[in-house]
Amino acid sequence: MKTLFLSLFFVVTTHVAFGQVTPYTTAVTYPLILAFPMDVSSCGSVAFNPIDIRYYTSRVGNATYPLLTFYADGTLAFQDVTGQDTRGIWWNPNTNQLERNCFSAIGWSQIVLDGSKNATSAFNILFAGALNPNAQCEGAYDYINNEVVFYFGGNISRYNRATGTLIATTAITGVTFTSINTTAVIYTGVTGYEYGILDYTAKKVIFINRATCAYAGETALPATAVTATSHQFSYTNNLLWLFNTTDNKWYSYQVFDLPVLAIDDIILNGVAEPTQNTLTWQAISDAPITVFNILHSSDGVHFKQIGSVNGYDSGDGLYTYTHANPTSVFNYYRIQCADDQQVEFLSEIICIEAKTGKNNITLYPNPTTTYIVINDVIDKRTYQILNSSKQVIKNGELNENGKIDVHSLEAGIYYLQMDEKSYPFVKK
């Protein structure tokens, strides 16, 4: 199964209903792992933010337990505490916020994200009260019908996300419940296989039809999969997740032939120079990109192609394109690319404002391998160099020739920051 590495501009396939898809006979182990840096006895859910490409998860239990944010590759981005006695968490694409249900009668709340889209201990109450069929249950979010779904005691309970009220509790038919995970349910968005429960002894996921609440099919888990009697069973970003308390890790599996959204594939930047605009971008993809088409617009709406770059020309994933003599004051750009399987996607849009006058700062050479030179050094000024995560990795004071040594930087996109302005450059 091919993974799609999409940019911030995409149709969010994790938030649509999938038809004409059937479960795999046996789940396929996926390489993504989310590891806790501490011992935890139990975890409830994993949630995926498709806008900012982040995963969130927490330990089940009281308000001082860890709440973690991970980047798309599984690297830990941030750690805080839950702030509430948390059970299930989910991303709500209808509100574009991280939400959860809590223990017993605490209710549901929104988890506040900081400026870097990390989950924090701050929260806003959505609804208070015993909005669950059992104090320990983890909710799963049905984004199509705007419902929070629970499993308990052989039943599916559906609550209205807009009001917090119980819609219905319906008995599941066609399933033997002797070894079903007691607190967890998943929502897949796949028509006819919307809900899933875990048989922890037989090591299989049993799918339930939302319309009939009846058995719809099943997927066997690998023999190495670790299953739990409660909690530790989740689904997000078209991946099934199982938590292993022995090594404190979430392991992921594919149970449908559906795309997994992952790292931003194109990190696009641009800088204005007196007679040209220079675009730089970094591409990350698990399949070779055959071509990058450069699209330009003067209004940010109507784009036309002005050039292309061969996708095989860069061994390190870094590319540049120069737009000579742009006629607009405001120039909008985006990159259209296609991989070797003819999957096409678009980057985000950036805007470059034309620079005029003698005191415009430009950097050269860009890309560079050893140094950058600033063309406008009137007097000595301090500078900072930031990496693509906007972390300061170098600082100093400009000398009279405006030259900065960058040979020790790893290949990637960086930002020179001076006078509260940032200027991107590429280190090869």
Q: Sorting pLDDT into bands at 50, 70 and 90, what band is 3?
A: very low
pLDDT for position 80:
97
pLDDT for position 376:
60
CB 25 within 8 A of CB 257: no
DSSP state of 368: B
Instruction: Give the CATH number for residue 426.
Output: 2.60.40.10
pLDDT tens for residues 139-159? 999 999 999 999 999 999 999
Are residue 248 and residue 318 in the same domain, yes or no? no
Q: Sorting pLDDT into bands at 50, 70 and 90, what band is 375?
A: low
Q: What is the mean pLDDT of residues 218-238?
A: 97
Report if residue 4 sits inside a domain. Answer: no
DSSP bridge pairs for 395: 384
Q: Coil, strand or helix: which one is 111? A: strand
Report if residue 170 sits inside a domain. Answer: yes
Q: What is the mean pLDDT of residues 187-216?
A: 98
pLDDT for position 78:
93
Q: Sorting pLDDT into bands at 50, 70 and 90, what band is 416?
A: confident
pLDDT for position 366:
67
Q: What kind and span of H or E run contains 71? A: strand 66-71
Percentage of residues in the chain having pLDDT higher than 90 = 54
Q: Which one of 225, 254, 283 terminates a domain?
A: 254
Residue 345 predicted with pLDDT over 70: no
Q: Sorting pLDDT into bands at 50, 70 and 90, what band is 110?
A: very high
pLDDT for position 325:
87
- Which candidate, 289, 292, 290, places its Cα nearest to that of 306? 292
Are residue 321 and residue 238 in the same domain, yes or no? no
Are residue 93 and residue 106 in the same domain, yes or no? yes
Q: For residues 284 and 79, which has the higher predicted lDDT (pLDDT)? A: 79
What is the chain's mean pLDDT, rounded? 85
Q: Which one of 356, 391, 411 terminates a domain?
A: 356
Are residue 124 and residue 56 in the same domain, yes or no? yes
Comparing 6-20, 56-70, 104-118, 235-249, the range with the smallest average pLDDT is 6-20
Are residue 334 and residue 190 in the same domain, yes or no? no
Report if residue 388 sits inside a domain. Answer: yes
pLDDT for position 8:
32
Report if residue 6 sits inside a domain. Answer: no
Q: For residues 259 and 122, which has the higher predicted lDDT (pLDDT)? A: 122
Are residue 216 and residue 296 in the same domain, yes or no? no
Q: Sorting pLDDT into bands at 50, 70 and 90, what band is 7?
A: very low
pLDDT for position 12:
38
pLDDT for position 359:
43
pLDDT for position 357:
43
Are residue 342 and residue 381 in the same domain, yes or no? no
Instruction: Give the CATH number for residue 142.
Output: 2.115.10.20
Report if residue 399 sits inside a domain. Answer: yes
Are residue 376 and residue 295 in the same domain, yes or no? no
Are residue 336 and residue 368 in the same domain, yes or no? no
Residue 9 predicted with pLDDT over 50: no
Distance CA 72, CA 23 (A): 24
Distance CA 372, CA 162 (A): 54
Structural domain that includes position 48: 13-254
Report if residue 1 sits inside a domain. Answer: no
Residue 210 predicted with pLDDT over 80: yes
Are residue 19 and residue 125 in the same domain, yes or no? yes
Total domain count, the chain: 3
Q: What is the mean pLDDT of residues 32-37?
A: 94
Please state the separation of Cα 253 from the chain's center in Å.
17
Residue 410 predicted with pLDDT over 50: yes
Residues contacting 75, CB < 8 A, separation 6+: none
Residue 265 predicted with pLDDT over 60: no
Report if residue 273 sits inside a domain. Answer: yes
Q: Sorting pLDDT into bands at 50, 70 and 90, what band is 361?
A: low
Percentage of residues in the chain having pLDDT higher than 70 = 84
Are residue 89 and residue 211 in the same domain, yes or no? yes
Count of CB atoms situated within 10 Å of the CB of 54: 22
Comparing 11-25, 29-43, 94-108, 302-316, the range with the smallest average pLDDT is 11-25
Here the tokens at position 280 are 């730089």
Q: Sorting pLDDT into bands at 50, 70 and 90, what band is 264?
A: very low
Q: Which one of 356, 383, 401 terminates a domain?
A: 356
Comparing 17-26, 327-336, 345-354, the range with the smallest average pLDDT is 345-354
Query: pTM of the predicted model, to two decimals?
Result: 0.65
Report if residue 129 sits inside a domain. Answer: yes
pLDDT for position 113:
95
Residue 13 predicted with pLDDT over 50: no
Burial class (CB in 10 A: 0-12, 13-18, 19+), 360: middle
Are residue 367 and residue 341 in the same domain, yes or no? no
